[in-house]
Structure 1
Amino acid sequence: MKIKYKIFSLVLVTLFAVSCGEKVATAEAQGEVKTEEDHEENPQTIAELTQDQMKSVGVTLGAIVMKELTSTVKANGLLRVPNNRKAIVTSLYGGVIRTINFQIGDFVKKGEVLATISNPEYIQLQEQYLTVNSRISFAEQEFRRQKELFDNDAGAKKNLQSADAELKTLRTQKASLKRQLQMMGISPETVNNRNLKSGLVITAPISGTISTIHAQIGSYVDISAPVLEIIDNHSIHLDLQVFEKDLSKMRIGQVVHFKLTNNPETEYDATVYSVGSTFENESKTISVHANVIGNKTGLIDGMNITGIVSLDKSSTPAIPDEAIVEADGKYYVFVQSDKKPDEHEKVGNESKQGGKSENQQKTMAFEKIEIVKGASDMGYTAITSLVEIPSNAKIVVKGAFFVNAKLVNSGEHEH
């Protein structure tokens, strides 16, 4: 009996020891799972980058802006300059181009001398003016003499009438020649035998930029032949082509945001001042005209544009499309923050930097914040943040993908 009792006791002790070991192992396993679950529930949200890293990948900071993206009409069109702000410069008289004072792209003011042309016929016109002037002096004397004779019954009436007609004819010729000289840019009062001019000037009829030069020095230009062309790009406006279904939504005073087809980086603004009432050819579109306001740098007549017409005054917070990153079906932005990564991430950064922490360099921290996307257009997307973002906050508008990759790599290093 004693032997059986000892054997039974030994079996109980063994079973108890095995049971305790399994409980400890289970508890340890559960602890590991819990730790991993805690990490998954609280992922790292702070990314830290050095100035060198930001510079190398082109990380750029910007701000959340207000955009009218909720109620808009999209339309294509052209930039146009009104015909009354374009000029083809011609010469009223034929001649040889002697000087051209400007080049293509130069800005000129109304009345400035653009070029000069010469022709011997110009001297003949001045000669005629001087001759007529002299004949008028003689004709006036003759008229006074005939009038005096007639008044004293010593002269015939027909002689007085003839002298009067001659004087009037000469005065008419003088007025005509005087006007021609003025059109040539020659002051009639300065014309005399000692300063007859063989050339005349061509002046700018409007202020603007020289867009084309047709003539060259030494070439002959005929009467009314184009010499230069001037365009005033400051008067540039939009010609938007709006489809019939959207015509009822157009109103004078609406704001248009537009971009050049060949330069989508820069945005310009305009305001609608006229809505057309007829279709353009067979396109079934109506022209909507808008004055460009603010910055007009780089805008040239004939450029293609894409515009967004704001139908109401409501605006929403928006950021550039490339500022948004997607992960696990959610959308995020990176906001500059004073927060710091967890200590275990700092240790990982030290190992990556060869023992030198990024914080010992000059670093910048960014917090990953979830947002909800709204309407998108013209390179911007309306957003709604799940947590409050300060109005003056700086966000990553370029390079957000790299910042997110840096954050993901830091999280993997933790494991």
Structure 2
Amino acid sequence: MKNLSKYAVIGLLAMLLGLTACGNSKKETVDNRQANPEMEKVHSEGEAKEVMLTAKQFDALQMEIDTPKMRNMSGYVETNGQLEVPPQNEATVTTVVGANVVSIEVIEGDKVNKGQTVAYLSHPNIIEKQTDYLDAYSNSQFLKKEYERQKTLYDAGVGSGANFQKAEGEYLVSRSKANGLEAQLQQLGINSAGVRNGTIYQRVPLKSPIEGFVEKVKVKTGQYVEPQTDLMEIVDTHHVHADLMVFEKDVYKVKEGQKVIFNVQSIPGKELTAEIYSVGKTFEQNPKAIHVHAEIENKEGQLIPGMYIQGRIQTENTQTVAIPEAAIAADGERFFVFSAEKEGEDWSFKPIEVAKSTKDGDWIAIDFLTEQQPNTKYAYDNAYYLMAEMKKGESEEHGH
């Protein structure tokens, strides 16, 4: 009997110690949560679960919030190509006379206006052309006066017809020579009126034929350049467009007016749209494909001719609700997205079950299993992080 009482006392003490430890554990959990206000708050109300993030956590995770998009997830042709500009929006700066480059006024990447001076040339040949013009002009003026004198005499009947015709011919030849030399000076950008007044220009300007950006500078200061040498290349990027290649098997699907969705590496994560305005009529042989040109509708960022692009030509117009793949988290064989709502300074995320459908790149078509409000916003990324935090919160709540 005494032994039985002894065991009963020991049992009661063990139960008291267990209850005390459990109480302390719960107290520590509460204390820890109060001491760390940054911790996610996870709670369960029946079937509704919620993950709370503070503003600091939201920013640290770089959360992206948006409504689902309507996208064409099928009925398209995969294509690639590069950015180009029409021929009329590219220009080469050349010289019509052999000369030395004495000054370069621009560098690659500079914006230039039409008619802006980009370099200066100088050479004895340029000075010689000016003196030749001055001689020809002066001689033409002399012969003009002689022609007018002979014409007056001939009209009065006191001059020889032969002398009049000779004076007329010599004047017309000299005038043509002077006009030809004046045209050459105009090509060089030299003011012929200044030369007639006695000014001889030591250097001549080279001017940009179009507005745009300096793409290449191919000469150096002091370099002698032959006539028609390419000195610089200017490109006007205002009319940059998508030049795409479509393979033979897909040509019959493509036509003018279709939409193109594409991206470039200079704007990561951003999709650009374009509309086809020209479909080539001849095949390139390597690879066998045709050129398709599309006008870009939402130009932004650095779009530079020659950039590689990848895109899709929409051949059908079937739209469906889609969301980025990073917005979907799996729980067994079920899939969830997280609705997002701001509560004060914090953010509330609730799991919404969906059914996955077609995948297109980083986007997946989805169907909501329950009706959703049309303007509801969802987390576009970090879905697996939110799912893990929700699971962690459930395990903590059922720990005791």
Residue from 250, 254, 269 that aligns with 1:250: 254
Letter in 2 for 1:389: Q
Contact 1:44 1:411 in 2 (8 A): no
- 2:245 matched to 1:241? yes
- The unaligned stretches of length 5 or more in structure 1 are 1-38, 340-358
Q: Distance in 1 between matches of 2:227 and 2:123?
A: 12
Counterpart of 1:47 in structure 2 is 51
Distance 1:78 1:338, change over 3 A: closer
3-state SS, counterpart of residue 233 of structure 2: strand
Unaligned runs of 5+ in 2: 1-42
After TM superposition, give the deviation of residue 120 of structure 1 in Å: 2.5
Q: State the match for 2:104 in structure 1.
A: 100
Give the C-alpha shift of residue 291 in structure 1.
1.4
Which residue does 1:363 correspond to in 2? 346
Deviation, 1:147, is 2.7
Name the structure 1 match of 2:375. Answer: 392
Distance 1:213 1:258 in 2: 31
Alpha-carbon shift at residue 180 of structure 1 (Å): 1.1
Give the AA of the match of 1:407.
M
Residues 277 and 369 of structure 1, relative CA distance in 2, 3 Å threshold: same
Shift of residue 337 of structure 1?
3.6
Give the percent of matched residue pairs that are identical in Structure 1 and Structure 2: 33
Provide the C-alpha distance between the structure 2 equivalents of 1:286 and 1:126, rounded to a whole number of angstroms: 52
> What amino acid sits opposite 1:376 in the alignment?
K
Match of 1:270 among 274, 278, 286: 274
Alignment partners' CA distance in 1, 2:104 and 2:142: 43
> Of 95, 113, 116, which aligns to 1:91?
95
Equivalent pairs, count = 356
Following the alignment from structure 2 to structure 1, what is the Cα–Cα distance between the partners of residues 46 and 77? 43
Give the 5 Å matches for 1:18-97: 43=47, 45-97=49-101
2:387 aligned partner, one-letter code:
N
Any idea what SS the aligned residue of 1:45 has? Answer: strand
Q: Tell me if structure 1 keeps the 8 A contact 2:267–2:301.
A: no
Supply the AA of the counterpart residue of 1:401. Y
Quickly say closer, same or farther: Cα 1:326–1:310, change in 2 above 3 A. same
Out of 296, 315, 321, the position equivalent to 1:317 is: 321
Preserved contact between residue 241 and residue 286 of structure 1 (Cα < 8 Å): yes
CA distance in 1, matches of 2:182, 2:361: 60
Residue identity opposite 1:165 in structure 2: G
2:284 pairs with 262, 276, 280, which one?
280
Q: Secondary structure at the match of 2:282?
A: strand
- TM-score, structure 1 length as denominator? 0.79
After superposition, the Cα gap between the structure-2 partners of 1:262 and 1:167, relative to the gap in structure 1 and judged at 3 Å, is closer
Relative distance call for 1:40 and 1:294 in structure 2 (3 A) is closer
Q: CA deviation at 1:158?
A: 2.2
Which residue of 2 is the match for residue 381 of structure 1? 364
Identify the range of structure 1 (278-287 vs 148-157) with the bigger mean alpha-carbon deviation. Answer: 148-157
SS in 1 for 2:280: strand
Give the conservation status (yes or no) of the 8 Å contact 2:266–2:302: no
- Residue of structure 2 aligned with 1:197, choices 196, 201, 213: 201
Q: Which residue of 1 aligns with 2:147?
A: 143
**2:73 touches 2:358 (CA, 8 Å); kept in 1?**
yes
Give the deviation of 1:42 after TM superposition.
5.2
1:300-321 Cα deviation digits (max 9, x unpaired) = 2222211111123332222222
TM superposition score normalised by structure 2: 0.82
Secondary structure, counterpart of 1:364 in structure 2: strand
Q: Is the 8 A contact 2:122 2:203 kept in 1?
A: yes
Q: Is residue 235 of structure 2 the alignment partner of residue 231 of structure 1?
A: yes
TM-superposed CA distance for 1:262, in Å, is 7.0
Letter in 2 for 1:253: G
Give 2:28's aligned residue: none
The Cα shift of 1:226 comes to 1.4
Measured in 2, the distance between the counterparts of 1:363 and 1:141 equals 96
**In 2, distance between residues paired with 1:151 and 1:260?**
79
